[in-house]
Amino acid sequence: MRLRKRSSAEPAGAQPHADGDAARAAYDAVAYPSYAFPQTHPGRLAAQAKLFGLDPAPVATARFLELGCSDGGNLIPMALDLPDATFVGVDVSGVAIARGRAAADALGATNLTLLEADVAALDHKALGRFDYIVAHGVYSWVPPAVRDGLLETFRACLRGDGVAYVSYNAKPGAYLRAPVRDVMRRATRGIDDPDERVRVARAALDLTARSLSAGQHQRGLIREYADRLRDRSDFGVFHDELADVNEAFYLEEVVEHAQRHRLEYLSEADLHETAHGNHPDEVMDALDELAGDDELDREQQLDHLVLRGFRQTLLRRRETRRSDRPRPETLDDLYASAEISPAKRGATLTDRSHVQFRGGKGATLTTDHPDAKQALAKLGDAWPAPISVRDLHGDSAPAVRQALLAAHSANLVQLSTHAPPIANEPGARPRAREIARRQAESGGLVVNGWHERVALGDELAAYLLTLLDGTRDRSQLAAAMREGGAGKNAQKRLDASLDQLASLALLVNDL
């Protein structure tokens, strides 16, 4: 990390703000690149809103705002995938905004505008109204005035049945990280150089973890956290663990703050993380005993039971009407996708035998309904491509809807109002997502059709991905692979790599 000169340019509509100046200096000095966060995609936000009875705007032509967008790593892939939608990003760092503008221009994201501005001093009238607003990784790391500005922007700029997303460190789980943060901050008092601060902080944490005796109850926690931070980027440690502001909140505190800005709770970004999720029986029994029927109380008590340390909360305008629980009939307007298959090979799908389905993340669901079993198997066969829920349920709509909702609650099935053109097998002239091809040229992770970051595994697969612009057939690609280092096994490597890229949702069809 190197210190960078602070940009002095102020955008139209933003006024100087003391807290904003400090944040700008920190983020201009040490870049904090942004990435794709699938839970913030408007298709997924809209699906959650639909489940609870709202009527969110069509994603294809929506207006989307991200507060704290950094260099547009989350926005640019969405803007390219939804060319008729409008995207706006705001960040206090002029350096990050300049970097994002350059990337957007290079990729041709003409429907994206990036603005340097302080969230606490935005001109809402000039900014306009939006169907979806996202603030990921901002709320816990800014002073109270900026948190107020963030929620006021939600209220002032959110349209009708629009959805606002805010993530934050949550109590009580965040309490467990407090000793670790104290160790790191105390060790770095008086150190201004970012590189030195991170180096000293890591060393202090490692030393503390090694010095704790087996009998001390903090030993496992601190050692586990030290191990996790070894894989954390330096800029992440600098801006998160070592940040001057890093606060945690109970859900009820965030909801109360939102209500002061005439906003109300909608759900969480992922249904399986709510009290409507498919939790272990002992957790649900304890929840029934502790909380009763009040939804927000159940959500807060769930945080205590699972020691939740991070929340991704969705908010809505106060005047919108919301269902108390997810409505299965709303699934007909959605698309489903799932990396799922029967746990046992040869399972019978046409009778009333119980069949357990297992997902790529280890979650499971058991059902005995023939149409539900066949619908889940059809989803697995189509993976990673989406299927319309209407096309899945046939003449057994209630049973299939209920099974899909249960699978979604168990983190087995993902729902969206958006169906990206994902190919589940390579064609004669395979074509990959343009942004993924560009990202593969520089190495590292790439963004797939579900707005997820995925690893390619090896350099040869990355090289192949750069070639998949739809102009080359299999023989031409095999020749290129041979020249690229695959040797005599070029055809075999090509077939395996193409199948891998398809399974990662990196290939597109021509819908």
- Give the amino acid at 103: A
Cα 98 to Cα 83: distance, rounded to the nearest angstrom: 21
Cα 408 to Cα 404: distance, rounded to the nearest angstrom: 6
What is the pLDDT confidence band of residue 361, given thresholds at 50, 70 and 90? confident
pLDDT at 448 > cutoff 80: yes
Q: Give pLDDT tens digits for 106-159.
A: 999 999 999 999 999 999 999 999 999 999 999 999 999 999 999 999 999 999
Q: DSSP secondary structure string, 385-430?
A: S-EEHHHHHTT-HHHHHHHHHHHHHTTSSEEES----B-SS--SS-
- Give the amino acid at 296: L
In this prediction, residue 46 carries a pLDDT of 98
Residue 341 φ/ψ, nearest 5 degrees: -160, 160
In this prediction, residue 316 carries a pLDDT of 98
The residue-averaged pLDDT of 380-394 equals 95
Q: Give pLDDT tens digits for 160-219.
A: 999 999 999 999 998 888 888 888 889 999 998 888 998 898 888 888 878 876 666 667
What is the pLDDT confidence band of residue 15, given thresholds at 50, 70 and 90? very low
In this prediction, residue 22 carries a pLDDT of 60
Instruction: Write the DSSP symbol of residue 360.
Output: T
- Residue matched to tokens 């069509």: 58
Using CA atoms, how far residue 39 sits from 165, 242, 279, 343, in Å, is 9, 26, 20, 27
In this prediction, residue 14 carries a pLDDT of 35
pLDDT at 275 > cutoff 80: yes
In this prediction, residue 27 carries a pLDDT of 62
pLDDT at 12 > cutoff 60: no
In this prediction, residue 97 carries a pLDDT of 96
In this prediction, residue 442 carries a pLDDT of 83
